Amino acid sequence: MLDVITGFAIVFAVIAVGWLLSKRGVIGEGEQRIMFNRVAFYAASPALIFSSVVVADPDNFLSPVVLVISAATVLTSLVYVVASRLFFRMDVPKTTMGASASSYYNSVNIGLPVSLYVLGDATHVVPTLVVQMGLFTPIILGFLGSDSGQGSTRRRVLTSIRTAMTSPVVLAALGGMLIAYLGWTVPAPILAPLQILGGASVPMILMSFGASLTVGGILASDRVATVVSTALKVAGMPLIAWLLCGLFDVSPELTYMAVILSALPTAQNIYNYAATYRRGEVIARDTVFLTTFLSMPAMLMVAFLLGG
């Protein structure tokens, strides 16, 4: 558990560095801050994703845990969309960010240590990363870009999704998965530079995130939407995952894995997408911040209830 606490400590420390640098004027406002997100989106994150996926075991891509988490992601997002339509209507990009923040968990800098030191292995984390990047990310980016272009909303969304399929993060996930399935080995002179570049992804996103906290306080706006998104991520998605495991008679061990991974905080990638597209930044930022604090007690509760 100490390693998990260390993982959270790293996240908060780098966020604090970004906040401090912004306060001192080292990281400027607007385009200067967003440059961190753009470099991460177009270079560092694709390198991180590809170098992680390409060495994964493809036999784990369709495990019960991956399938349950994927289904829970979809259902939790739909719950948010319904709640938004009924109680706090927002435009499509903001709704997309709220739905994504409620269901898209942190599979890298927190998910990996949780898998290794709470569950015992990281078998299920990388496959869920592939699903997130290869399947859900194009849809997220598609709806984020739905307010640009011409034609009906449906046509704009479909056009934006097609464009998102060629985004660097999606191509990196799909390319890495294809190479893993084919059993090819990426030569060290190619893989090693990608791993180094990928190592810059999380720090850049977190520092930009910390710098954004100087722009406006948490829950200063879109309060109801953020609270609903946070509650769904911390409590709703784990509950849905548990119900799905019961419905499909998943073993207790795999149920525990699926539920505790579902309780992980919202991924910083969600904020990175919002900041890169300049849509729904406040909801994404605030949900990432709140769930990062609340997910630890949520996971402890899951461990207590399920006997992990």
- Tens of pLDDT along 104-145? 998 766 666 666 556 666 667 888 888 888 889 889 988 887
Residues 6+ apart with CB under 8 A from 54: 175, 176, 179, 180, 186, 191
Query: Of the ranges 7-16, 66-75, 200-209, which one carries the lowest mean pLDDT score?
Result: 7-16
Residue 170 confidence (pLDDT): 87
- Tens of pLDDT along 34-64? 898 899 889 998 998 898 888 888 877 788 9
> Does the pLDDT of residue 152 top 80, yes or no?
no
CB 302 within 8 A of CB 259: yes
**Out of 2.40.420.20, 3.40.50.920, 3.10.50.40, 1.20.1530.20, which CATH number does the structure's domain 2-302 have?**
1.20.1530.20
Query: Of the ranges 73-82, 111-120, 239-248, 259-268, which one carries the lowest mean pLDDT score?
Result: 111-120
Question: 250 phi and psi, to 5 degrees?
Answer: -75, 145
Helix (H) or strand (E) holding 191: helix 188-198
SS (H, E, C) 112-171: HHHHHHHHCCCCCHHHHHHHHHHHHHHHHHHHHCCCCCCCCHHHHHHHHHHHHCCCHHHH
> Does the pLDDT of residue 11 top 70, yes or no?
yes
Higher per-residue pLDDT: 183 or 73:
73
Return the ∠ at Cα 246 (arms to 245 and 248), rounded to 5°: 65
> Amino acid letter at 55?
V
153: confidence class by pLDDT, cuts 50, 70, 90: low
Find the mean pLDDT for residues 290-304.
Answer: 88
Higher per-residue pLDDT: 123 or 268:
268
What distance, in Å, lies between the first and last C-alpha atoms of the chain? Answer: 12
Query: Of the ranges 8-12, 72-76, 139-143, which one carries the lowest mean pLDDT score?
Result: 8-12
Find the mean pLDDT for residues 74-94.
Answer: 94
> Does the pLDDT of residue 205 top 60, yes or no?
yes
Residue 307 confidence (pLDDT): 65
pTM of the model: 0.84
Domain boundaries in the chain? 2-302
- Tens of pLDDT along 219-243? 878 899 999 999 999 999 999 999 9
Find the mean pLDDT for residues 149-170.
Answer: 76
Q: Highest-confidence range of 29-43, 208-222, 275-289, by mean pLDDT? A: 275-289
Residue 277 confidence (pLDDT): 87
Residue 159 confidence (pLDDT): 78
> Does the pLDDT of residue 285 top 70, yes or no?
yes
